[in-house]
Amino acid sequence: MKQDLIIYHGSQQIVEVPKFGIGKTYNDYGLGFYCTESIELAKEWACPVKNDGYSNKYIMHLGGLNVMRLTKGEFNILNWLAILLSHRKFDITSPVGNNAREFILSRFMPDTKDVDVMIGYRADDSYFSFAEDFVNNTISLRDLNLAMQLGTLGEQVVLLSERSFGQIEFVEHEVADYREYYYKRSQRDQNARAAYKSHKKDLRQLMDDVFMLDIIREDMRNDDPRLQSNISE
């Protein structure tokens, strides 16, 4: 991994000095400073309402930091889901969903205690609803994995530890015009939903799909080959 990353934070304010310990504990990965490597995404995130926002640009010095990249290596989408479940409130609408939360947390939660920076999917809007649907046994693991790759949402880079805040360097800011980026943000979400609905599966895939109920009933773990085949395809 590169020792320095160019990252952007979308906000309604100019943020020259990010402050540790400020923010919402119920964000995707908990309390932290949320950024992206895409200036376009940052500008969209800066315009959740019809007001201009700002894309704040930084150099993130990763040397000496413990970086957890949830989309690489030994991690899979269920590890990401476990972290999401530990911080965000899910709408549980099925009997399976009542048991799914504790099962996923007990089987798939990675050790994040000493993590300085976390990189992984961002659960925006429809993407969060896909995660809820999987937990409620409405869509399969394969469907969830596909859904998170739609709409080119990209990954978020999140500073979690006080040490990481000491290694971020402000560069500049750019104005995000809401007349462009408020609508781009909405369109990205609509595109993801449309792409998901248009996805067609053949009979073999339907027969092989793994649902939340299957994972609980079979007491599946990270290294279960049935999970790997549904995640990697």
Nearest to 214 by CA among 201, 202, 227: 227
CB distance 83 to 70 below 8 Å: yes
Q: Which two tokens stand for residue 143?
A: 């469907």
- Stretches in the chain below the pLDDT threshold 50: 203, 233
CB distance 79 to 36 below 8 Å: no
pLDDT value, residue 123? 80
- Residue 156: strand pairing partners: 36, 120
pLDDT value, residue 226? 80
Q: Which two tokens stand for residue 31?
A: 């309390």
pLDDT value, residue 82? 96
Burial class (CB within 10 angstroms; exposed 0-12, middle 13-18, buried 19+) of 209: middle
C-alpha angle 209/220/103, rounded to 5°?
105
Burial string for 79-102 (b: 16+ CB within 10 Å, else e) reads bbbbbbbeebebeeeeebbeebbe
pLDDT value, residue 225? 83
pLDDT value, residue 199? 65
C-alpha angle 23/164/84, rounded to 5°?
50
The Cα–Cα gap between 117 and 153 comes to: 19
Domain boundaries, given as residue ranges, for the chain: 4-232
Burial string for 141-171 (b: 16+ CB within 10 Å, else e) reads bbbbbbbbebbebebbbbbbbeebbebbeee
pLDDT value, residue 232? 54
Provide, for the chain, the percentages of residues in helix, strand and coil under a 3-state DSSP scheme, each rounded to the nearest 5.
40, 20, 40
C-alpha angle 79/81/83, rounded to 5°?
75
pLDDT value, residue 111? 95
pLDDT value, residue 126? 73
